[in-house]
A and B are shown apart, each in its own frame.
Chain A
Amino acid sequence: FVESRDKEAHIMAKNRKRQKKIKSPAPPPPPVVKEEEEEEEEEAPMLKEVDDDLIEDNGTSSEEEDEDDEEDDDNDDDNDGMESGPESIRDILEGEEDDEDDGEFAEEAAALRAAIAEGAFDGVVAEGRGVLRQSGAGEDESEEDEDDDEEEEEEHTYTRAAIPSVNNVAALRAATAAVDRGLPWPETFDVTASADLGLEEAPAGGGLAPVHDDLTREVAFYEAALGAVNEARQRCGTHKIPFDRPVDFYAEMVKGDSHMAKVKDRLIFESKKIEAFEQRKNSKEQKLRSKEAQSDRAKEKAKTKKDNIRAVGDYAKDVASRRMPGFVEDEDDNGGVGGGKKGPNWKRERADKKFGFGGKRGKFKQNTKKDLEDMSKYNPRGNFGGMGKKTTKGSGGAGGKRPGK
């Protein structure tokens, strides 16, 4: 329903609801068109009914705010702040352009608009953006004379409640002069830094101003203070005020010894934490590296060994060729030098030489003549239960030779 109502009517209805000081409701427009008049009158009560449900109070009055807050009735600072409502509401209301198509109330809306244009509702100036300030409610400083914001209340005009800013420059300067005692520098020890802090401007590329970055901000404060301290030191020198504390000057300190011990413990703890972290990191890295290093070393070792052996062989060849020209050395014969570990199959060959073919092991599986003629295991029935190995040669005839072979 609200969408179909006219914007101004909407606002006016809110104003009507809030404003109890208005002497009389807006007089109906001159009866140029009777139908419109009736419609308006009908509309007014309807609006009022609908008010409570749908039409929101955009304004915040101090009483209503404090209903939420049960702890303290004190309003003195509630009015100091402003809620950022009005602009958003206004924007939303102004963005509401799609109401005109609704045929039902379009005529009414048009009639109302005409009436307003003629000035029927001049008693109520609907500039209100919905933020209202009650006069004097909750203002703590009752003696305050300067209420810049409330001067228009009596005229029943609702202007946007701007945040009042009081800046009585002359009085401030007078007050400053009153507070100043005209003391020489050694009495006050106040120094002002000459350079700007440089925290307010946001960087050109975007992002927050440096004020909001803790580290940058604290560093700026530190630097400013340090500069000022250096200046103070110089000035103390000229005034002959002792600045540095001698090492043997013992006096009560602001923080007691027990507290400083705790501080020290914490510092040690933090440094140890960092150390442990570093160590863990390093050992991890080391582990990775050590494996690589090991394999590299092994490779190196093997390589050098190889080279050595080859060098020896080359030398031997060399020597031999010098000794007996034309004598061709067999490569496999290592010239009587060394134990003869050479060749891909050197183990096999050595065993063959020692034990004959097949070596020690071979003997176990060799058939002898006796075994070939042995018929003790021959079973004429041919039950092959528990067949032995296929290689038993006793199953055939004499000689055990397979047919065809």
Chain B
Amino acid sequence: MGKNNSKKRNIKKSEKKELKEPTVASEQKTEDTTATDDVEITEEKPKQLAQEKITPVDEEEGACEEVDVDNEKMDDKDDDEESDEEDEEAAPAVPTTISDGRYRNRVRLLTLCSRGASSRQRHLLSDLRALLPHSRAEHKLDVGRRGSDSLSSALREVADVRGCDSVLYIEGRRRGKDGYLHLGVVPHGPSVRFALLNAHTMDELRMTGNCLKGSRPVLTFCSSFGGGAAGPPAQPFLGLLRSMFVRAFGTPRGHPKSKPFVDRTMSFSYADGKIWVRNYQIVRDAAADSNSLVEIGPRFVLDPIRIFSGVFAGQTLYRNPKYVSQNVQRRAQQGNTKVDRFVRRRAAKEGRKARMDAIEAPEDLLGDVFH
């Protein structure tokens, strides 16, 4: 545990540096967290988010939809939530987080790709890194052929070292022909594996939009994902995916690298059994007092394969029945599967039979000679 703590301490120091960088929007004074750091390390209680009194501002906001009274679920997530308790007070009954512009929601997303990824996949990853200031880049991961077990443990290890709580891992298989995108919450959390299709990077000149680097995006979900006014999700796994997307792709408020204004939106739509991801720039037309969207950034399609209860291992919570692996699709398209060959052979046999039947041999006059 000591070693763990020391690692955390190192991370906290780098965090402190980030905190002290002047941010444009937030006018807060950088606070000295050293004192509280020591206190934090010695405590081995499960850590909780900033426990503050619910201020009037919060009540005006109409309360957050996602506030749950359940205490326990806070326990798992807080490997990183160490030192934001500048104003920590005694733990209240209902853990909520107020949002006043300070950096409270600690999310670190580990972004890495596998060794066999194609250049398109790698560019997609670098585009995502540019858009997500809360991401941590890592070198290529070379897992080898040991199977999912080693992938899971490798990712967990790397995430632990870097102090990340979620992982975005792009895997390329068959020399980059097949791409997979893995999204997972690291220590014990659920994880998803998608097939990555139709990836277009920001480089393409048809995407004419642009946005501030690090601006917080509005995450837009279609009605199938549920949440808020739209009601429950069309299917329960979509609800889980929604939460995971919010966690991974949502830039936390007050993040030191984030910019204050809102000029990007990332939209997730569920259609044809797949999730279509688009990034738009929000353009304001002051005269007409309306917004319009211009596409910026990478666009890709995710085909969910499986949802696991652990980090790319463990029980399968959801398996997509409509998913057909890309390799199988390719083979089917070639038209030379065993089925196709059987059908062709069958047709040929029938044709031959028909032709043979159609033959009317003339009567053999000498046929009786030899009985």
Q: Is A57 an interface residue (CB 8 A)?
A: yes
Complex CA–CA separation, A294 to B190 (angstroms): 80
Q: Is A191 an interface residue (CB 8 A)?
A: yes
Kindly list chain B residues whose C-beta atoms are within 8 Å of the C-beta of A221.
Answer: 267, 269, 276, 278
Complex CA–CA separation, A143 to B65 (angstroms): 36
Q: Are A177 and B70 in contact (CB under 8 A)?
A: yes
**Contact for B230 among A85, A192, A222, CB less than 8 A:** A192
Label chain B's interface by main secondary structure. mixed
Complex CA–CA separation, A72 to B325 (angstroms): 14
Q: Are B218 and A232 in contact (CB under 8 A)?
A: yes
Most central of A82, A143, A211 by chain B CB within 10 Å: A143
Min CB gap A308→B, angstroms? 59
Min CB gap A99→B, angstroms? 11
Min CB gap B295→A, angstroms? 8
Q: Are B267 and A77 in contact (CB under 8 A)?
A: no
Q: How many residues of A contact B (CB 8 A)?
A: 102
Q: Is A60 an interface residue (CB 8 A)?
A: yes
Interface bits B52-70 vs A (CB < 8 Å: 1, else 0): 0000001011111111101
Q: Is A292 an interface residue (CB 8 A)?
A: no
Min CB gap B97→A, angstroms? 5
Q: Are B293 and A225 in contact (CB under 8 A)?
A: yes
Which one of B7-15, B38-46, B82-90, B219-227 contacts A?
B219-227
Q: Are A193 and B315 in contact (CB under 8 A)?
A: no
Q: How many residues of B contact A (CB 8 A)?
A: 129
Q: Are B148 and A76 in contact (CB under 8 A)?
A: yes
Residues 57-80 (chain A) with a chain B CB within 8 angstroms = 57-58, 60, 65, 68-69, 71-74, 76-78, 80
Kindly list chain B residues whose C-beta atoms are within 8 Å of the C-beta of A177.
Answer: 68, 70, 73
Interface bits A179-196 vs B (CB < 8 Å: 1, else 0): 111111111111111111
Q: Is B161 an interface residue (CB 8 A)?
A: no
Q: Is A200 an interface residue (CB 8 A)?
A: yes
Complex CA–CA separation, A267 to B222 (angstroms): 31
Q: Are B98 and A251 in contact (CB under 8 A)?
A: no
Kindly list chain A residues whose C-beta atoms are within 8 Å of the C-beta of B51.
Answer: none
Complex CA–CA separation, A180 to B246 (angstroms): 9
Min CB gap B320→A, angstroms? 8
Q: Is B228 an interface residue (CB 8 A)?
A: yes
Interface bits A272-308 vs B (CB < 8 Å: 1, else 0): 0000000000000000000000000000000000000
Kindly list chain B residues whose C-beta atoms are within 8 Å of the C-beta of A403.
Answer: none
Q: Are B97 and A71 in contact (CB under 8 A)?
A: no
Q: Are A145 and B315 in contact (CB under 8 A)?
A: yes
Q: Are B185 and A191 in contact (CB under 8 A)?
A: no
Most central of A92, A146, A182 by chain B CB within 10 Å: A182
Q: Is A22 an interface residue (CB 8 A)?
A: no
State whether A224 and B341 are in contact (beta carbons under 8 Å apart), knowing that A143-B314, A144-B316, A165-B321 are contacts in the complex.
Answer: no
List the interface of chain B (C-beta within 8 A of A): 24-25, 49, 58, 60-68, 70, 73-74, 76-77, 95-99, 104-105, 130-131, 145, 147-149, 173-175, 178, 185, 189-190, 202-203, 205, 208, 210-214, 216-230, 235-237, 239-240, 242-244, 246-247, 250, 252-253, 259-263, 265, 267, 269-272, 276, 278, 280, 282, 284, 291-293, 296-297, 305-309, 313-321, 323-329, 331-332, 337-339, 341-343, 345-346, 349, 353
A-B contact pairs, 8 of them (CB 8 A): A166-B317, A167-B318, A175-B317, A179-B185, A181-B74, A190-B228, A225-B278, A233-B291
